[in-house]
Amino acid sequence: MLIPRSHPRAASLYIRERLVHGYKNGLVVEEGLMAHGRGEMFDYLIGEKTTRYSQDAIRAAARKLLLARSPVISVNGNFVALCSKEIVQLSKITGAKIEVNLFYASEKRKKVIAQVLAKNGAKQVLGLEKKFSTRIPKLDSARRIVDRRGIFAADVVLVPLEDGDRTVALKKFGKKVIAFDLNPLSRTAQVADITIVDNVARAMRLLIQTCTKLKQKKLKEHKFDNKKNLKHTIVTMRKNLVRLAHA
């Protein structure tokens, strides 16, 4: 498809093309394309850059992942379409397992996602073998099915672009949840222990850098006030809504 170079939103349109590419390769589902659009709008409201509040959340997330006993990175089609390399890198640095978990489940799509991750260097991708599957209690959708070796046994789970129901269920099940969510008002954002309100492509790069740096140091648990952090982000969005209106 032809995007004129002179178009002022060309950059954003090119990013969309990456997701369309992922869609055409069977990674992403139609609903995932719309979910991306929703994220785009919130990204616009934070000024399309990592805010200092996201930076704080990323630091807290890096610490939590490095201190975890058994961390897991939960992945879906959009996440892999946008940053497959980064997922594998983060997994290697933190020792986190990678597990595929889809809202719109399909065995075929799971396999495609796992293949892309393997191509990018992932040694193991959980969530595919029936013999290891079990359920998280109190959850209706297909996403309740998890891997016994992965999310089921994890202490810390990193969830990107997550469904609210599932985050609530993971919390009730005793997990510490780190979430990427561009909507600071979503249930996932509100319920997670650490919410990174940022474009996942930008945030993953910074999370990897931060983990690499912190890994050299002796770490202790830090307090992180997620609700307060989210409030700051909402204030930023409100200010930008006014600023943009007067541009």
Judge whether 96 and 231 are in contact, CB under 8 Å: no
Binding site for a copy of itself (CB under 8 A): 1-4, 6-9, 13, 16, 19-20, 23, 29-31, 33-42, 104, 140-142, 164-165, 183-185, 187, 230-231, 234, 237-238, 241-242, 244-245, 247
Phi-psi region of 203 (alpha: psi -120 to 50; beta: other; left: phi over 0): alpha
Give me the least distance between CB of 21 and a copy of itself, in Å please: 10
Question: Please, which residue, 13 or 219, has the CB nearer to a copy of itself?
Answer: 13
What is the gyration radius of the CA atoms in the chain, in angstroms? 18
Question: Please, which residue, 33 or 214, has the CB nearer to a copy of itself?
Answer: 33
Give me the least distance between CB of 30 and a copy of itself, in Å please: 4
Judge whether 45 and 240 are in contact, CB under 8 Å: yes
Question: Please, which residue, 17 or 129, has the CB nearer to a copy of itself?
Answer: 17
Please give the Cα distance from 189 to 166 (Å, whole number).
12
Question: Please, which residue, 45 or 156, has the CB nearer to a copy of itself?
Answer: 45
Give me the least distance between CB of 77 and a copy of itself, in Å please: 13
Give me the least distance between CB of 93 and a copy of itself, in Å please: 31
Backbone angles phi, psi at 35, to 5 degrees: -60, -35
Please give the Cα distance from 97 to 172 (Å, whole number).
21
